[in-house]
Chains A and B, each alone.
Chain A
Amino acid sequence: MDGNSKDDALKALAARRWRVAGALTVAMLVAYLGFILLVAFNRPLMGLQFVPGLSIGIVLGALTILLAWVLTGVYMLWANRKYDPALDELRR
């Protein structure tokens, strides 16, 4: 009995990892393509300074870099806290 149910549980866990990884990838893609499309198609907006010396473009660019790091951190925390223990459980 345990052979098959273990296999199924592993498959479910693997599918969950791909779902999380996929969702985070899409989040990164949307943010980045959003930034690139704004740069490409709305130059005046990106050049708008809402504080003297700080344009929307610069803030969005810096935020995209920050977001990339935060998303990587979110994935790492999820994988370390949820995925790895579940995997260890199944490995036994």
Chain B
Amino acid sequence: MNPTNAGTRIGQPNLTAIVFFLLFVSITLAITYWAARKTKTTSEFFAAGGGISAAQNGFALAGDFMSAASFLGIAGLVATSGFDGLIYSVGWLVGWPVVTFLIAEPLRNLGKYTFADVVAYRLRQTPVRLSAAVGTLTVVVFYLIAQMVGTGNLIRLLFGLSYETAVVIVGAVMILYVLFGGMIATTWVQIVKAVLLLGGATALAGAVLYQFGFSPTALFSEAVSRYGPEALAPGKLVSNPLETVSLGVALMFGTAGLPHILMRFYTVPDAKAARTSVFYATGLIGFFYLVTFILGFGASVLVGRQAIIGVDKGGNMAAPMLAEVVGGTGFLGFISAVSFATILAVVAGLTLSGAAALSHDLWSSVVRKGHAPEAEQLKVARISSLLLGVLAIILGVVFKNQNVAFMVGLAFAIAASANFPALLLSMLWRGFTTRGAVASMLTGSLSAVLLIFLSPTVQVELLGHASAPFPLKNPGLVTIPLSFLVGWVVSLLAPEAEASRRFAEVEHRMHVGAGVPPKGAAPPDVAGPVAPGIPEAPQEI
């Protein structure tokens, strides 16, 4: 895998990459040191004390979402198969308006640290939080595996380090961010990373377009003359139309169910800031995807498909190789360091949301029934972060050489089927019940896992069987409607009077919020009182 013959220095230790990466790690660790001194309460640990501004949160949201998979993956997909990459870009982006219109504000007004706060608000705490935690942790674990395995392979190619070394470095640094700096550090790591990634990608695209007189159509025309008009049309990715639609639906609604994204809405002071931050994030991510598209075509023309596939069959090295061609080894080093930093930041965000599910949903609400003192909650949160970080390292090593594509698909499908329907129904439907919520969340997680197991990705590609019992690679088209249907039917079967009576309270608070703090006042204690749920005494709003 060391293609000295291809005239690239990919796969050999690169001084620039190492210097830039060390610089990134030092700066972010300094931020963590600063944040650690400000992280004394659970509100600061999980939600940065609600003191993040809309613009900052917009960058952090974008940082959480722009994983190395979307940067290197889309560029590689476009470089090797042209138009098909755009299907992913569009699918990953159109989830954001849905988040803005339906989820962001009610979530901010109703919850405290996790989306389970919203679902459990007028329902019985224990069963709802248990099933929400199942969904959240499944999403987090699969997403973590995908990122860690991706890291190991990328870093081996980019830096010339060994797979295991890369996984351990990412895991260890990420544990430091989350353990000591909590959400304040994680947010700033995301902001630094988002700026670097956007800046690096834009500079690279600028260098490409410079060679084509800043005309994207000249670039695309060159790709057509090289690879034929198929480069600009849907290709082999969409051999099965239903498959395309199913993938699209899962990508769209998956965003509205990703725990580390939903958690970001608690870091801003109010619903208005939550809404505004998604507007910034949507613009940044949309711009980034369009830039990535230029990079992909640029790589296919300036580097060549053969050379790209020669280094990595998946095409993931397209963007770094392009950087080397247009800017030399120094630029290759910079883009490599940015890719490494990107993975680091996404893994930190994921771990924090997993720790919130373990500590806030399972420990504080289920085990201690809301009576855990502040210091204990914080301790459990830190222990959870440490455990998840170590788990991520172990899983990264264990799953070495696994196909990670299906894990990302699984994470999005579970997020879309387990979390999104229950979240939406709990905000919109008076008749939603505890049993309905539990059934919807468990059906969503289990059916998504089961159908992925029965899909061609696992049965044919991984296990080598001739055919698969379930025809689609992505189960979203089946599991999302199923989860809605089960939640609806189960709720109708046994109405819950208390939950329905308290819907008025949900409606009121969802729109009015816990009250807006006066200008210039200290950030509020996040969403004020904890969402109470039914077993506790009803509370005044």
**If A14-B507, A76-B275, A79-B275 touch, does A64 touch B94 (CB 8 Å cutoff)?**
yes
**If A46-B83, A76-B279, A87-B512 touch, does A68 touch B232 (CB 8 Å cutoff)?**
no
In the complex, what's the smallest C-beta–C-beta distance from A85 to chain B, in angstroms? 11
Contact A24–B229 (Cβ < 8 Å): no
Contact A28–B97 (Cβ < 8 Å): yes
**If A41-B241, A47-B233, A53-B224 touch, does A75 touch B275 (CB 8 Å cutoff)?**
yes
Does B327 belong to the interface (CB within 8 Å)? Answer: no
Residue in A22, A57, A72 whose CB lies within 8 Å of B97: A72
Say whether chain B's binding surface is mostly helix, strand, loop, or mixed. helix
Does B450 belong to the interface (CB within 8 Å)? Answer: no
Assembled-state Cα–Cα distance A14/B458 (Å)? 45
In the complex, what's the smallest C-beta–C-beta distance from A16 to chain B, in angstroms? 10
Assembled-state Cα–Cα distance A44/B248 (Å)? 20
Interface residues of B in 353-411 (CB under 8 A from A): none
Chain A residues with CB under 8 Å of B217's CB are 51-54
Residue in B93, B289, B511 whose CB lies within 8 Å of A14: B511
Contact B229–A36 (Cβ < 8 Å): no
Chain A residues with CB under 8 Å of B290's CB are 62, 65
**If A24-B101, A35-B90, A75-B275 touch, does A52 touch B282 (CB 8 Å cutoff)?**
no
- How many chain A residues sit at the interface, stated as a range, is 35 or more
Chain A residues with CB under 8 Å of B279's CB are 69, 72-73, 76
Chain A residues with CB under 8 Å of B100's CB are 72, 75-76
Interface residues of B in 255-314 (CB under 8 A from A): 272, 275-276, 278-279, 282-283, 286, 289-290
Does B98 belong to the interface (CB within 8 Å)? Answer: yes
Encode contact with B along A55-78: 1 for CB under 8 Å, 0 otherwise: 101100110111011011101100
Chain A residues with CB under 8 Å of B233's CB are 43-44, 46-47, 55, 57
Q: How many residues of B contact A (CB 8 A)?
A: 53
Chain A residues with CB under 8 Å of B83's CB are 46-47, 55, 57-58, 61
Chain B residues with CB under 8 Å of A46's CB are 83, 233-234
Residue in A40, A75, A79 whose CB lies within 8 Å of B272: A79
List 5 A-B pairs, minimum CB-CB distance, nearest first: A47-B233, A53-B221, A40-B241, A55-B232, A53-B217
Chosen A-B contacts, 10 in total, with CB atoms closer than 8 Å, are: A14-B507, A36-B244, A46-B83, A52-B217, A54-B220, A57-B232, A58-B83, A72-B96, A72-B100, A79-B272
Q: Which residues of B contact A (CB under 8 A)?
A: 83, 86-87, 89-91, 93-94, 96-98, 100-102, 105, 216-224, 229-230, 232-234, 238, 241-242, 244-245, 248, 252, 272, 275-276, 278-279, 282-283, 286, 289-290, 428, 507-508, 510-512, 516
Q: Which residues of A contact B (CB under 8 A)?
A: 10-11, 13-14, 17-18, 21-22, 24-25, 28, 31-33, 35-37, 39-41, 43-44, 46-47, 49, 51-55, 57-58, 61-62, 64-66, 68-69, 71-73, 75-76, 79-80, 84, 87, 90-91
With A24-B101, A40-B241 given, can you name 19 additional A-B contacts, CB distance below 8 Å? Answer: A10-B508, A24-B97, A25-B97, A25-B98, A31-B94, A36-B245, A47-B83, A52-B221, A53-B220, A55-B220, A55-B233, A57-B86, A61-B83, A64-B93, A65-B90, A69-B282, A69-B283, A79-B105, A84-B272
